[in-house]
Amino acid sequence: MIIEIEKGLEALKNELESRGYETFYSGENKVADAVLYSGESFPRGVYGSSYVKMFAATNTKGFGGALLINVDDKSIDEIISILNNRSYGPLF
């Protein structure tokens, strides 16, 4: 699984890498399976239109698009569970 991480989340990046995940920082123009960010809303201003097109690309799991995860108030175990299940939890 390839994970894009917002700059400023270095500790999370290091922890995920120590657990075997491939990570890179936002803005490196790569395709990711998931994007981890912090804050109240996805930082759209950081991403240009060419970047948005990458979200439609097929990722390594064969799905179209990337899973967006706000990491605020989540433990590393919760984040890994979300990554593995490609879901925050049941809808109902």
CA dist 76 and 91 (Å) reads: 22
pLDDT over 70 for what percent of the chain?
A: 70
Residue 66 contacts residue 4 (beta carbons within 8 Å): yes
CA dist 70 and 27 (Å) reads: 17
Tell me the mean pLDDT in the region 6-28.
Answer: 94
Question: Is residue 48's pLDDT more than 50?
Answer: no
What confidence score (pLDDT) does residue 50 get?
45
Supply the pTM of this predicted model. Answer: 0.74
Question: Is residue 88's pLDDT more than 80?
Answer: no
